[in-house]
């Protein structure tokens, strides 16, 4: 068993989508929600194990959220994100949503990033060389002034602590050490590309205004268009890309926009030709070629992408960029619209007022020591899987494999029944302990020192049981997929990841007993959600895919 | 500027072999400057700062030259042939083998070089990118002088000094 194999170059696409082994990934139930008709998860919808393409619905436990209303896990794909606040990561200033657009999503105060290495720049003061100092002879021409003693003839410039770039290289210096962005504003507005953009905007605005004046718009269209314009241009400040992600709205928006544009064109017939007033990007080609030949003066791709205005080719044209704002986002369950994650609004605070993580509600499953020495075709190995209970009540765990879930899903079955054919995966697995109980989680000082159950009294196939975890054996036999790869064709060197899927059903053994001996049924979401005791959650089942390692033939 | 001042060398540092130390240097505790081979030597100029856990190892033949006003930051290792003046070897950086460092160079934190750095070269980042800096050496000289002055004043208050 090699845990960190060198990726083989064959089947590059499949390799790219491969999860590094070993792993334990959970499948979010949202896939089944979408597949089934209603909102209620039916047990039938869980009978299919994750197939090849479902790799995108598999997540490690720390990435999953938990919705208490629906009593289900939510993956990053099935939560809706909302921006809670914008802030600058450097000065931690919280930017009001209304002014984010005007500041072009960048910090409008004193924060700049280095155009060479993307580090944060710092402001340094420098005393102008005065005639006196020059007369002194030995004195340095420029002395970095102490921050307190700033005299009137100080100049200030930006400098990078990592790569030693400074803004004097591009001839940039400031009179005051504060409000640098506003001091730079006139300079930025005078750039060729900024002027060109402004001209273009004026040109099209003129056209759109005349369109609005000419076109007698029916009320219905005004409604939709107005709403959308209000959404994207007004107080809410939603980017058009966000609108496009709302399924119904996007097509509607484009349709209404198209129809109104068509109408306008009919009214206006033509848009007058735009002639560029700025001589931009014309003589650049020859310039670029000569620059590329002298390759030391050319910017790297990364540096160019960080200069969104003109994608400067010459290193001398690199310009400090204001630092991009970051966002804090709250997340809602898409199904019931309840908030699962809500950060505190203050930029300085790293806490969350609501944070419903799946790791606090769903047992965490890990592979435990000792690992099998080696994986070989047709050689059974015993793998120890550890279940750790985060809840303050004991849980009853029932395991099943793909084969055993078909038909009647009874909780009590013998291990012989669970022998199954090699399914989608490449191994045959036998669950030696399909049912077991994991004790409740308590504070660490509440556990007894010798709490581990002595080995003699352990149930069959339970390796270890202590505190709030339980380790069980699973027997895994890697089976060569015979049909796919006949043994007569050994030329292809394919690394097989030995993985299997397992249906895990968790039933909290709460203070008040639910219908205990019954079949672990579907998630009765509506019933359990209303209960006041939050911790006594309802039953939960999901598919878990466990990757053991790579088998290199 | 401080040319006549003696060097400040902490007792807790290791200085072994044939080493000629100039004036106004500061050698912090836990710092080691060693010459491995008999017959070879290290010549240290004036006003250098050797911070804690710095290792200067001369394992080759001949002379290793360290210029003036260089700063070796915490935990860096210097095994090169020579270093100019006014250069900075940042924390955790490595100068290996037969490298020669010019004047006014900066070897960034955790960066490694085994080839020569010409004057005014800056090495930075995880990819050890090199560029040429335009900042004048003189600008930094004042800062370095004050740094030296501060260390000379503070180190003897908290550490035993070597008396030789």
Q: Does A143 touch chain B (CB under 8 A)?
A: yes
Q: CB distance A169–B129 less than 8 Å? A: no
Residue from B90, B117, B131, B141 to probe the interface with A (highest A Cβ count within 10 Å) = B131
Strand spans (E) along chain B: 8-9, 14-16, 18-21, 26-27, 32-35, 41-44, 49-50, 55-58, 63-66, 71-72, 77-78, 82-83, 88-89, 94-95, 100-101, 106-107, 112-113, 121-124, 129-132
Question: Which among B131, B133, B139 has the least Cβ separation from residue A142?
Answer: B139
Q: CB distance B125–A163 less than 8 Å? A: yes
A219 pLDDT band, cuts 50/70/90, is very low
Q: What is the pLDDT of residues A28-62, one digit of tens each?
A: 877 666 544 455 555 555 667 777 667 778 899 99
Question: Which among A117, A143, A168 has the least Cβ separation from residue B124?
Answer: A117
Q: CB distance A117–B108 less than 8 Å? A: no
Q: B122: nearest CA in chain A?
A: A163
Q: How many residues does chain A have?
A: 553
Please check the confidence at residue A349 and state whether its pLDDT lies above 80: yes
What is the rounded average pLDDT of the residues A281-285?
Answer: 60
Q: CB distance B133–A164 less than 8 Å? A: yes
What is the rounded average pLDDT of the residues B50-69?
Answer: 93
What is the rounded average pLDDT of the residues B96-100?
Answer: 88
Q: CB distance A165–B139 less than 8 Å? A: no
Distance CA A429, CA A503 (A): 12
Per-domain boundaries in chain A? 81-86+329-357, 193-268, 363-483
- Which chain A residues are closer than 8 Å to B138 by Cβ? 140-142
Strands B94-95 and B77-78: parallel
A203 pLDDT band, cuts 50/70/90, is confident
- For residue B136, the model assigns a pLDDT of 67
The listed range with the strongest mean pLDDT (A35-39, A141-145, A439-443) is A439-443
What is the rounded average pLDDT of the residues B34-53?
Answer: 93
What is the rounded average pLDDT of the residues B96-116?
Answer: 91
Distance CA A502, CA A543 (A): 6
- 8 Å CB contact between A529 and A550: no
What is the rounded average pLDDT of the residues A279-291?
Answer: 64
Per-domain boundaries in chain B? 8-157
Domain B8-157 falls in which CATH fold? UDP N-Acetylglucosamine Acyltransferase; domain 1 (2.160.10)
Q: What is the pLDDT of residues A301-327, one digit of tens each?
A: 888 888 887 777 778 888 899 999 999
Question: Which among B131, B141, B142 has the least Cβ separation from residue A163?
Answer: B131
The listed range with the strongest mean pLDDT (A145-154, B124-133, B149-158) is B149-158
Q: Does B133 touch chain A (CB under 8 A)?
A: yes
């Amino acid at each position: 068993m090699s845990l960190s194999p060198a990726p083989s170059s064959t089947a590059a696409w499949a390799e790219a989508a491969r999860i590094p082994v070993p792993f334990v990934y959970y499948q979010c139930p949202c896939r089944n929600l979408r597949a089934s008709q209603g909102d209620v998860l039916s047990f039938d919808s869980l009978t299919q194990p994750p197939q090849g393409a479902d790799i995108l619905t598999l997540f490690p436990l720390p990435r999953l959220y938990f919705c208490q209303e629906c009593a289900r896990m939510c993956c990053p794909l099935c939560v809706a994100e909302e921006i809670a606040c914008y802030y600058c990561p450097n000065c931690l200033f919280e930017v009001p949503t209304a002014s984010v657009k005007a500041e072009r999503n960048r910090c409008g105060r004193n924060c700049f990033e280095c155009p060479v290495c993307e580090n944060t720049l710092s402001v340094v003061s420098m005393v102008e060389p005065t005639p006196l100092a020059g007369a002194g002879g030995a004195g340095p021409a420029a002395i970095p002034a102490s921050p307190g003693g700033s005299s009137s003839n100080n100049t200030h410039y930006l400098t990078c602590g990592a790569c030693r770039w400074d803004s004097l290289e591009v001839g940039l210096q400031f009179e005051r050490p504060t409000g640098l962005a506003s001091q730079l504003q006139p300079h930025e507005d005078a750039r060729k590309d900024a002027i060109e953009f402004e001209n273009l905007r004026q040109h099209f605005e003129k056209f759109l205004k005349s369109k609005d004046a000419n076109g007698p718009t029916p009320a219905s269209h005004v409604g939709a268009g107005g709403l959308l314009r209000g959404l994207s241009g007004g107080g809410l400040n939603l980017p058009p890309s966000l609108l496009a992600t709302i399924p119904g709205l996007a097509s509607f928006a484009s349709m209404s926009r198209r129809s109104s544009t068509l109408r306008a064109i009919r009214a206006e017939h033509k848009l007058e030709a735009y002639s560029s007033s700025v001589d931009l990007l014309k003589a650049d080609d020859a310039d670029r070629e000569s620059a590329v030949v002298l390759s030391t003066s050319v910017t790297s791709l990364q540096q160019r992408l960080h200069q969104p205005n003109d994608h400067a080719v010459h290193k001398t044209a690199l310009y400090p960029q204001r630092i991009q704002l970051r966002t804090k986002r709250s997340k809602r369950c898409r199904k019931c619209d309840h908030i699962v994650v809500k950060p505190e609004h203050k930029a300085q605070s790293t806490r969350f007022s609501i944070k419903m993580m799946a790791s606090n509600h769903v047992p965490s499953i890990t592979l435990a020591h000792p690992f099998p020495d080696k994986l070989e075709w047709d050689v059974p190995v015993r793998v120890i899987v550890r279940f750790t209970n985060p809840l303050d009540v004991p849980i009853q765990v029932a395991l099943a494999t793909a084969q055993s879930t078909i038909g009647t899903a009874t909780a009590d079955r013998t291990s012989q029944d669970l022998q199954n054919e090699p399914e989608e995966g490449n191994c045959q697995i036998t669950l030696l302990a399909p049912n077991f109980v994991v004790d409740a989680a308590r504070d660490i000082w509440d556990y007894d020192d010798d709490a581990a159950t002595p080995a003699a009294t352990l149930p069959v196939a339970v390796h270890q049981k202590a505190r709030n975890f339980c380790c069980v054996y699973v027997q895994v036999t890697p089976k060569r997929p015979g049909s796919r790869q006949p043994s007569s064709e050994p030329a292809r060197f394919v690394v097989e990841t030995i993985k299997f899927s397992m249906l895990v059903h968790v039933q909290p053994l709460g203070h008040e007993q639910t219908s205990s001996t019954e079949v672990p049924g579907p998630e009765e979401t509506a019933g359990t959600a209303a209960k006041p005791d939050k911790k006594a959650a309802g039953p939960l089942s999901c598919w878990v895919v466990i990757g053991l390692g790579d088998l290199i033939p | 500027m401080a040319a006549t001042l003696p060097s400040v060398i902490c007792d807790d540092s290791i200085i072994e072999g044939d080493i000629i130390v100039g004036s106004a240097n500061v050698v912090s505790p836990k710092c080691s400057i060693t010459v491995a081979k008999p017959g070879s030597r290290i010549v240290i100029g004036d006003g250098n700062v050797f911070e804690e856990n710095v290792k200067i190892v001369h394992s080759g033949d001949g002379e290793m030259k360290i210029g003036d006003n260089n700063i070796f930051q915490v935990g860096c290792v210097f095994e090169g042939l020579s270093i100019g003046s006014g250069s900075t070897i940042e924390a955790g950086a490595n100068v290996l083998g037969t490298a020669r460092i010019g004047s006014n160079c900066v070897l960034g934190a955790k960066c490694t070089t085994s080839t020569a750095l010409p004057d005014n070269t800056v090495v930075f980042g995880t990819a050890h990118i090199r560029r040429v800096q335009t900042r004048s050496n003189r600008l930094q000289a004042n800062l370095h002088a004050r740094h030296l002055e501060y260390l000379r004043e503070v180190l003897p208050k908290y550490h035993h000094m070597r008396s030789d």
